[in-house]
Amino acid sequence: MGGGNAVSGRETMDEQWSRAPRYWDARPGTGPWEQAGGADSGAGPGSRAGSGPTAWTPSSPSARPYPRFEPPAAPGAPRVPGPPPCGPPARVGSAVAALVGAVLTLAFPIVFLVIGEPLLFLLMNIPGIVFGVMGLTKTADPAEVERHIGYTWACTLTYIALVVIIVSLMFAPVGTA
């Protein structure tokens, strides 16, 4: 009685369902849903690199999905093509943060004006703001931007230390200063 695969006209599971695609059966760059050829179409785990029908070959430059970006070059300079820029230049976020910190120090002169010290209203963090703006305008040179970020924070922290000293002297009890 036994011995045959299909008794009474029924198919076995192997005949009914196709084999599930495996990762290494696919060609490079395709998913299992895009496979062509089944289990014997790709280089398997034991195959040598560069052999078989799915060996990688470099694509032609004209088959790129994006246009080539070529920045304007100085006369006589070699042209180096590259991908298009994908974001703001380096360190712009830090330069903006430094400038925002320097601009926020303008709250201190306003407080001095409100408490009745108009002379201290003139004490502003002008160098910090200027260095912050210069850091944002020199984005082509990352070293220059980094230097201006450092100058901005140095001016801002020095200004805050100076304000703390002045305020502590203003509100110190009489006879201790």
Structure confidence at residue 41 (pLDDT): 47
* Long-range contacts, 125-128 (Cβ 8 Å, 24+): 125/155, 125/156, 125/159, 127/151, 127/155, 128/98, 128/101, 128/102, 128/152, 128/153, 128/155, 128/156, 128/159
For position 152, what pLDDT does the model report?
96
- Residue 164: is its pLDDT beyond 60? yes
pLDDT band at 57 (very low <50, low <70, confident <90, very high): low
Long-range contacts of 66-70 (CB under 8 A, 24+ apart): none
- Residue among 78, 108, 95, 72 at smallest CA distance from 142: 95
Q: What digits encode the pLDDT tens for the residues 58-98?
A: 555 555 555 555 555 667 666 666 666 666 676 888 999 99
**Phi, psi at residue 82, to the nearest 5°?**
-160, 175
What does pTM read for this prediction? Answer: 0.50
pLDDT at res. 12: 61
> Residues 6-30: what's their mean pLDDT?
58
Query: d(Cα 121, Cα 169) in Å, to the nearest integer?
Result: 16
Q: pLDDT at position 163, please?
A: 94
pLDDT above 90 covers a percentage of the chain that reads 33
Measured CA to CA, the distance from residue 152 to residue 126 in angstroms comes to: 10
Instruction: Say which residue, 142 or 127, is predicted with more confidence.
Output: 127
The 3-state DSSP class for residue 67 equals coil
User: Quick one: which H or E segment has residue 101?
Assistant: helix 92-104
Q: What is the pLDDT of residue 128?
A: 96
Per-residue confidence band for 172, with pLDDT thresholds at 50, 70 and 90? confident
